[in-house]
């Protein structure tokens, strides 16, 4: 038997990396700005722990510049920089991550430093859009600057440079197919998408700002040219809940969704560091009966770098109706979704979020029931959907899920049971919960039930049919019936005598006529009425018939 090492020649994987590393070419900018950010945060960390003597950290910036004339794109940082030796080590060795090495070296102190990189591949994404890439870098250490050039083949040149300021400039010679990345609008769009909340200021060109100088009659409008900073380096989710007011949460919401004019109903600030790291803010928007679940609204970040707004598999499905951000360095980013769904961390994150949301709803309910009731119709679809799909959530939500009545009262399930347990049982002793789905269309039936002193719920959400089934199977000895599903007196056992406002003769005639036109197996005819205001007769369709029809219309139960 022989064993050995498979020899992977760099020439062979290089084109593969360029082609397949990322399906989306545009992310090269995210990767390079992430590196520039890492370089800046590393320097910050070293100055903090006193390992960068003589360095004035100041207020470093990252600058992005485009020059359509020469077809170049520049990314310039004032970070840690690289010596020639470090370029050899970090850049020339594909898949060797300097970020990972740094975190390893400063394990104890740097774990919260916000360093982004860790695969050691991001830099090479530059070759997806550039024919040639240059690095000009000056380390914070007292060593000469260097200049690295590579045209995408495994050959490179490395020489001395006369750069004097600390930091790194990456120059991309944009290729013919990627000219879009020389357009101001396109770069702006990408910066806003990926870098809007990154922790180091990012400058892209300049903009005009008007400023008033002088006072009274001397007041003058002055036009100033200022740096166009595209990001907010300290977004709300990175702060402590105690340091934020309601208005801060609302204004962050507007920052996240500039086109959204409606205020959110409430927010949930997520903050956990064990057993995984996760921060974020989730917002409940007004949803009403809209089950047109618009996904892709929660944005996922890793250390303040935008990753995706498709959070499927990370957040339980029912919560994808919410808005907001989640930031976790523990979510593996550059891997496929199927891998993501199997990842242990991701599963924990999902159940943590579910629990947090349930707890927040519970405390809103406990602290201000009236307010919670007022919001109920706008949030119920999320809660009902969650109760249907996640058993853990069902257990918690069962304490605060509300069941409104046609008269505008709101009961929890327990309160409802308490309220009706004596009066509303069927002949087998099962508790009968009456509900209506449409107050106008079913008003005759609603009135009949109310005349008998019964409670009628108003359940009109689009998934209530499924929720009812879930409740019937998870609770003992209850059944739901829509008010028009059978004659009320067949549904509920009642001792009082039934009165009809018709004479016996009239009843006979009516019955024969109705029997002829109404198929008995599908409908029930009732000729009794409790008092003179009620209708002389009612026709009902049994609950099971109707449910069957609904199920086949919506494609089965859930």
The residue among 31 and 63 lying less far from ligand ADP, judged by its C-beta, is 31
User: Which tokens hold the place of 286?
Assistant: 């007004």
Looking up tokens 């509900």 gives: 435
Q: Which stretch binds ligand ADP (CB under 6 A): 72-80, 146-154, 399-407, 413-421?
A: 72-80
- Taking the C-alpha atoms of residue 21 and residue 3, their distance in angstroms, rounded to an integer, is 30
Out of 98, 199, 235, 542, the only residue in the binding site for ligand ADP (CB under 6 A) is: 98
The residue among 118 and 396 lying less far from Mg ion, judged by its C-beta, is 118
> Which of the choices ligand ADP, Mg ion, none does residue 97 contact, using the CB cut-off of 5 to 8 A by kind?
ligand ADP
Q: Which stretch binds ligand ADP (CB under 6 A): 80-88, 320-328, 437-445, 485-493?
A: 80-88
- Taking the C-alpha atoms of residue 145 and residue 82, their distance in angstroms, rounded to an integer, is 8
Helix 344-367 to helix 369-389 angle (10° resolution) is 150
Q: Is 35 annotated as a binding residue?
A: yes
Q: By CB under 6 A, tell whether 97 contacts ligand ADP.
A: yes
Of 132, 121, 128, 117, nearest to 93 (Cα)? 121
Of 132, 109, 104, nearest to 120 (Cα)? 104
Show the site string, 388-407: x = touches ligand ADP by CB under 6 A, - = not. Answer: --------------------
> Which of the choices Mg ion, ligand ADP, none does residue 120 contact, using the CB cut-off of 5 to 8 A by kind?
ligand ADP
Show the site string, 32-71: x = touches ligand ADP by CB under 6 A, - = not. Answer: ---xx-xx--------------------------------
CB of 31 to ligand ADP, least distance (A): 6
Q: By CB under 6 A, tell whether 122 contacts ligand ADP.
A: yes
Q: By CB under 6 A, tell whether 123 contacts ligand ADP.
A: yes
Looking up tokens 């300097």 gives: 98
Residue 17 · residue 94 · CB < 8 Å: yes
The residue among 96 and 156 lying less far from Mg ion, judged by its C-beta, is 96
CB of 120 to ligand ADP, least distance (A): 4
Q: Is 216 annotated as a binding residue?
A: no
CB of 113 to ligand ADP, least distance (A): 13
Instruction: Give the sign of the dihedral formed by CA 320, CA 323, CA 327, CA 333.
Output: positive
Out of 91, 174, 432, 527, the only residue in the binding site for ligand ADP (CB under 6 A) is: 91
Out of 77, 327, 384, 528, the only residue in the binding site for ligand ADP (CB under 6 A) is: 77
Q: Is 387 annotated as a binding residue?
A: no
- Taking the C-alpha atoms of residue 62 and residue 195, their distance in angstroms, rounded to an integer, is 11
With residues binned 3-state (H G I as helix, E B as strand, rest as coil), the percentages for the chain, rounded to 5, are: 40, 20, 40
Out of 29, 99, 307, 349, the only residue in the binding site for ligand ADP (CB under 6 A) is: 99
Residue 403 · residue 457 · CB < 8 Å: yes
CB of 79 to ligand ADP, least distance (A): 5
Q: Is 369 annotated as a binding residue?
A: no
> Which of the choices ligand ADP, Mg ion, none does residue 171 contact, using the CB cut-off of 5 to 8 A by kind?
none
Of 385, 389, 280, 384, nearest to 326 (Cα)? 280
CB of 129 to ligand ADP, least distance (A): 15
Show the site string, 167-206: x = touches ligand ADP by CB under 6 A, - = not. Answer: -x--------------------------------------
Return the C-alpha torsion angle 492, 493, 495, 501, nearest 10: 40
DSSP states along 173-205: EE-GGGGGGGSHHHHHHHHHHHHTT-SSEEEEE
Q: Is 453 annotated as a binding residue?
A: no
Out of 60, 114, 120, 313, the only residue in the binding site for ligand ADP (CB under 6 A) is: 120
**Helix H or strand E encompassing 268:** strand 266-272
Residue 481 · residue 543 · CB < 8 Å: yes
Q: Is 207 annotated as a binding residue?
A: no
CB of 90 to Mg ion, least distance (A): 10
- Taking the C-alpha atoms of residue 397 and residue 391, their distance in angstroms, rounded to an integer, is 10
> Which of the choices Mg ion, ligand ADP, none does residue 150 contact, using the CB cut-off of 5 to 8 A by kind?
none
Coil vs helix vs strand at 289 = coil
CA distances from 19 to 15, 25, 129 (A): 6, 9, 10
> Which of the choices ligand ADP, Mg ion, none does residue 118 contact, using the CB cut-off of 5 to 8 A by kind?
ligand ADP
Q: Which stretch binds ligand ADP (CB under 6 A): 92-100, 207-215, 244-252, 371-379?
A: 92-100
DSSP 515: H
Interacting residues toward Mg ion by CB under 5 A: 35, 117, 122
Q: Which residues are paired to 481 by β-bridges? A: 434
Q: Is 134 annotated as a binding residue?
A: no
> Which of the choices Mg ion, ligand ADP, none does residue 119 contact, using the CB cut-off of 5 to 8 A by kind?
ligand ADP
> Which of the choices Mg ion, ligand ADP, none does residue 450 contact, using the CB cut-off of 5 to 8 A by kind?
none
Q: Is 82 annotated as a binding residue?
A: yes
Coil vs helix vs strand at 377 = helix
- Taking the C-alpha atoms of residue 283 and residue 250, their distance in angstroms, rounded to an integer, is 9
CB of 98 to ligand ADP, least distance (A): 2
CB of 152 to ligand ADP, least distance (A): 15
> To 5 degrees, how large is the angle CA 499–CA 504–CA 510?
95
> To 5 degrees, how large is the angle CA 59–CA 62–CA 63?
125
Bond preceding residue 275 cis, omega within 30 of 0: yes
CB of 95 to ligand ADP, least distance (A): 8
Helix 98-105 to helix 27-48 angle (10° resolution) is 20
> Which of the choices Mg ion, ligand ADP, none does residue 458 contact, using the CB cut-off of 5 to 8 A by kind?
none
Q: Which residues are paired to 456 by β-bridges? A: 434
User: Which tokens hold the place of 485?
Assistant: 């599903």
How many residues at the interface with ligand ADP, by CB under 6 A? 23
The residue among 87 and 281 lying less far from Mg ion, judged by its C-beta, is 87
Instruction: Give the sign of the dihedral formed by CA 269, CA 274, CA 278, CA 284.
Output: negative
Q: Which residues bind ligand ADP (CB under 6 A)?
A: 31, 35-36, 38-39, 77, 79-82, 90-91, 97-99, 117-123, 168
Binding-site residues from annotation: 31, 35, 77, 82, 97-98, 168, 337
Binding-site residues from annotation for ATP: 31, 35, 77, 82, 97-98, 168, 337
């Amino acid at each position: 038997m022989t064993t050995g090492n498979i020899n992977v020649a760099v020439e062979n994987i290089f084109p593969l990396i360029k082609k397949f590393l990322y399906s989306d070419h545009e992310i090269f900018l995210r990767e390079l700005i992430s590196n520039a950010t890492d370089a800046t945060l590393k320097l910050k960390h070293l100055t903090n722990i006193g390992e960068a003597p003589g360095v004035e950290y100041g207020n470093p910036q990252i600058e992005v510049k485009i020059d359509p004339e020469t077809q170049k794109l520049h990314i310039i940082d004032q970070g840690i920089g690289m010596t020639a030796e470090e370029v050899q080590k970090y850049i020339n060795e594909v898949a060797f991550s300097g970020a990972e090495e740094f975190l390893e070296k400063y394990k104890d102190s740097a774990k919260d430093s916000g360093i982004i990189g860790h695969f050691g591949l991001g830099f090479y994404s530059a070759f997806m859009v550039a024919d040639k890439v240059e690095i000009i870098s000056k380390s914070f250490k007292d060593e000469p600057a260097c200049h690295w050039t590579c045209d995408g083949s495994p050959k490179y040149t490395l020489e001395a440079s006369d750069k004097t300021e600390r930091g790194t400039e990456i120059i991309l010679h944009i290729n013919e197919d990627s000219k879009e990345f020389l357009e101001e609008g396109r770069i702006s769009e990408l910066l806003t998408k990926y870098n809007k909340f990154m922790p180091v200021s990012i400058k892209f060109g300049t903009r005009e700002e008007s400023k008033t100088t002088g006072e009274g009659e001397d007041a003058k409008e002055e036009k100033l040219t200022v740096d166009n900073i595209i990001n907010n380096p300290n977004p709300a989710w990175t702060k402590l809940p105690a340091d934020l007011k309601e208005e801060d949460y609302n204004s962050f919401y507007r920052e996240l969704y500039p086109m959204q004019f409606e205020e959110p109903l409430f927010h949930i600030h997520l903050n956990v560091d064990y057993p995984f790291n996760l921060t974020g803010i989730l917002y409940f928007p007004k949803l009403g009966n809209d089950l047109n679940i618009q996904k892709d609204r929660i944005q996922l970040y890793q250390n303040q770098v935008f990753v995706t707004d498709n959070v499927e598999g990370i957040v339980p499905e029912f919560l994808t109706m919410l808005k907001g951000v989640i930031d976790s360095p523990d979510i593996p980013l550059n891997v496929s979704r199927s891998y993501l769904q199997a990842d242990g961390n991701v599963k924990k994150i999902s159940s943590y979020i579910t629990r947090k949301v349930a707890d927040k709803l519970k405390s809103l309910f406990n602290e201000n029931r009236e307010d919670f009731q007022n919001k109920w119709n706008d949030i119920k679809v999320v809660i009902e959907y969650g109760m249907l799909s996640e058993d853990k959530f069902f257990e918690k939500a069962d304490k605060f899920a509300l069941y409104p009545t046609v008269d505008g009262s709101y009961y929890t399930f327990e309160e409802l049971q308490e309220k009706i347990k004596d009066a509303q049982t069927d002949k087998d002793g099962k508790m009968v919960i009456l509900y209506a789905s449409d107050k106008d269309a079913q008003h005759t039936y609603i009135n009949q039930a109310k005349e008998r002193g019964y409670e009628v719920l108003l359940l009109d959400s689009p998934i209530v049919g499924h929720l009812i089934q879930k409740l019937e199977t998870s609770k003992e000895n209850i059944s739901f019936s829509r008010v028009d599903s059978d004659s009320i007196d067949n549904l509920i056992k009642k001792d009082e005598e039934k009165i009809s406002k018709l004479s016996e003769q009239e009843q006979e005639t009516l019955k024969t006529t109705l029997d002829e036109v109404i198929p008995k197996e599908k409908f029930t005819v009732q000729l009794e009425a409790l008092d003179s205001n009620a209708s002389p007769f009612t026709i009902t369709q049994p609950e099971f018939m109707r449910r069957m029809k609904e199920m086949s219309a919506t494609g089965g139960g859930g």
